Structures are given as C-alpha cells and as structure tokens.
Amino acid sequence: MLHIVNKSASERSSLDSCLKLASKGSAVLLIEDAVYAATKGNAAAAKIQAAQADLKIYALGPDLAARGMAGRTLDGVNVVDYGGFVDLVAEHSNCQSWL
C-alpha cells in the first residue's frame, strides 16, 4: 500500500497516524508541507528514521525545491519527481491519502 501524507508534522497528526497504521513493507510518500519531516534537523526526523526500518519513505522533489529544502533530505529518503509519484501509485495495489 502507498500512504500519501501532505501536512507538516509540526501542525497535524497525520504523519503520526500514518506511521502508526502503515503495515510493514508499505511505502510512504511525503508531499506538499509534509516534506519538511524528511529533512535533516527537523523535529520529526527521528520518527522518519525509526520508520525506515519497516517502511520505504519517499519525498516529492518539486515540493522540497519549492520550499528551499532540496538537498536537505535525510539519508535513505528517496526523492522522486511527479513521474515517480505516478509510478508509486501504479506499483502499489491501493493508496491512502492521510487528509
């Protein structure tokens, strides 16, 4: 399953809820304001790093760049473009947006 999170972890609980209920082997794609969580030094970075043991974490490159965060992502976070976003949706049998 592909989980999509779009809100800043500093503002909403959607990343926490997603990480709590995502099954082992699932993918989590951070888009829009959620990309900050995958950057070095962010308060949510430890959660992302801990989740990497069981989940594949992706962040949308254009959203990172638009926020001045390109090149600041945590090790092991896969940065994808919109083509990669489409591929992730296609590759997983279902997807869930944590609104």
Partner 1 sequence: MQFGILINEGPYNHQASDSAYLFARTAIEKGHQVPRIFFYHDGVNNSTRMAEPPQDDRNITQRWSKLAEEHGIDLVVCVAAALRRGIKDELLAPGFRISGLGQLVEMGIQYDRLVTFGD
Partner 2 sequence: MSDMDMEDDGSGVVKKFMFLNRKAPHGTVYALEGLEVVLITAAFDQDVSLVFTDDGVYQLMKGIDTKGIEVKDFSKTYRALEGYDIEKLYVDRASMDARGLTEDDLIVDVTVMSDDEMKNLMAEQDVVISF
Residues 32, 49, 56, 72: which binds partner 1 (CB under 8 A)?
32
Residues 6+ apart with CB under 8 A from 76: 49, 52, 57
Q: Are 98 and 4 in contact (CB under 8 A)?
A: yes
Residues 5, 31, 35, 57: which binds partner 1 (CB under 8 A)?
31
Question: Counting contacts by CB under 8 A, is residue 6 touching partner 1?
Answer: yes
Q: How far is the CB of 97 from partner 1 (least distance, A)?
A: 4
Helices and strands counted in the chain (H then E) = 4, 5
**36/22 Cα distance (integer angstroms):** 20
Question: Counting contacts by CB under 8 A, is residue 94 touching partner 1?
Answer: yes
Task: Catalog residues that contact partner 1 under the rule CB under 8 A.
Answer: 4, 6-7, 31-33, 62, 82-83, 85-87, 89-90, 94-95, 97, 99
